[in-house]
Structure formats: C-alpha cells, structure tokens
Amino acid sequence: MRLLASIAAFLAWLALVLQLYPMLVQSPPDAMAIAATVVSYFSFFTILTNLAMGARWGKPRSS
C-alpha cells in the first residue's frame, strides 16, 4: 500500500511541474508577468488539490 501512495505522490508532483513549466515559458519574461502567472496557477482548484494530495501521499509515515 505504501508503494501505491509513493507512486501517487510522484504523479501528483509530476503533474504540478508539467503544468507550471509551460505556463512560465509562455509568460513574458518580466517579474510582474511571472508573478501573475504563478498566482493564476495556484488559483485553480485542481492545482491545489494535486498539491494537497502530493503533500499528503508523499509524507513519510510516522510510527
């Protein structure tokens, strides 16, 4: 079961990176546009959900 959680965490983080990268590449190179892009990125509920699930599933198990 821990293996499945690790795979799910990896996929969640990978999806986050694969979505953020093209958004940053397509944004203009000035600081305000990059900041606006990052704010826009984190305004999507699906991004926040993937972030929460990646953090939860990737968390080391406490005994």
* Domain map (residue ranges) of the chain: 2-57
Query: What pLDDT, in 10s, does the model give residues 15-62?
Result: 999 999 999 999 888 999 999 999 999 999 988 988 888 888 877 766
Q: What is the pLDDT of residue 56?
A: 84
CA distance 30 to 53: 31
Q: What is the pLDDT of residue 17?
A: 93
pTM equals: 0.74
Task: Give how far Cα 17 sits from Cα of 6, 24, 32, 63, Å.
Answer: 17, 11, 20, 30
| Two tokens, residue 63 | 């005994």
CA distance 58 to 50: 12
CA atoms within 13 A of residue 54's CA, in its CB half-sphere: 14
Q: What is the pLDDT of residue 3?
A: 86
CA distance 17 to 10: 11
